[in-house]
Amino acid sequence: MLYSILIFGAEGVTENLSPEAQDALIQQHNNLKTRLEAEGTYRGSVQLMPPSTATHLRDAGKGTELLDGPFAESKEQFLGFYLIECDDVGYAQQAARELPAGVATMEVRAVAWARGAVTTDG
């Protein structure tokens, strides 16, 4: 089974960490990646650029329209994700626990279907 750990946080909070705290945060991510790789369960991870770089596609009635990024809100934004291949959701939840929680919240969700560099085909 392929599991994802989705990472959410308020825009700009991570950038407001001191350089040392940012390094510590990166170290936590690297530690998890190293452990998952050693156990053969790591399938990839993605950090997204700030939400303000995003463009949105929406059906405007006359066809799909390209809109500018979301207005800044205090609610949490999607920042990035991990993909982990394992049989037990508890394993993925434990991995999520090892990520920095103070500046982000994590959501563990099973992947229904994936093709390409990562695939759900055995």
Partner 1 sequence: MADRAAIAAHLAAARPRAVAALVAWCRDIEMAEDAFQTAALRAAKNWPANGIPRDPTAWLLHVARNAARDVYRQRARQAEEPLEAAFRLADGSQPQAEEALDKARFRDDVLRLLFLCCHPSLQPGDQVLLCLRHVLGLGINDLARAHVTSADTMQRRISRARARAQARLGAGEADIKPGERAGSIAQVRKALYLMFNKGYGASHDEQHLQPLLVREAIRLARLLVSLFPGEPESLGLLALFLGHSARMGARLDAAGSLVTLPDQDRTLWDRGAIAQAAQYLQNALRSGQVGPFQVQAAIAAVHNAAARAEDTDWKEIHCLYLALEALEPSPVVRLNRLVALSRLQGPDRALAELQELVETLADYLPFHAVYAGLSEEAGRRADAVRALRAALDCHPSTEERIFLTSELARLKDGAGTGRS
> In terms of Cα–Cα distance, which of 94, 84, 99 is closest to 36?
84
Minimum distance from residue 77 beta carbon to partner 1 (Å): 10
- Transcribe 81-117 into DSSP letters: EEEEE-S-HHHHHHHHHTS--TT-EEEEEE-S---SS
- Residue placing its CB nearer to partner 1 in the complex, 21 or 114: 21
Query: At 83, which amino acid appears?
Result: L
Question: Which of 14, 111 has the CB closer to partner 1?
Answer: 14
Using CB under 8 A, which of 21, 99, 111, 114 touches partner 1?
Answer: 21
Q: What is the CA radius of gyration of the chain?
A: 16
Q: Which is nearer to partner 1, 51 or 80 (CB)?
A: 51
Residue 10 contacts partner 1 per CB under 8 A: yes
Q: Among residue numbers 49 through 108, which ones bind partner 1 (CB under 8 A)?
A: 49-53, 55, 66, 68-75, 100, 102-103
Instruction: Tell me how far apart the alpha carbons of residues 35 and 103 are, in angstroms, rounded to a whole number.
Output: 22
The contact set with partner 1 (CB under 8 A) reads: 10-18, 20-21, 24, 49-53, 55, 66, 68-75, 100, 102-103
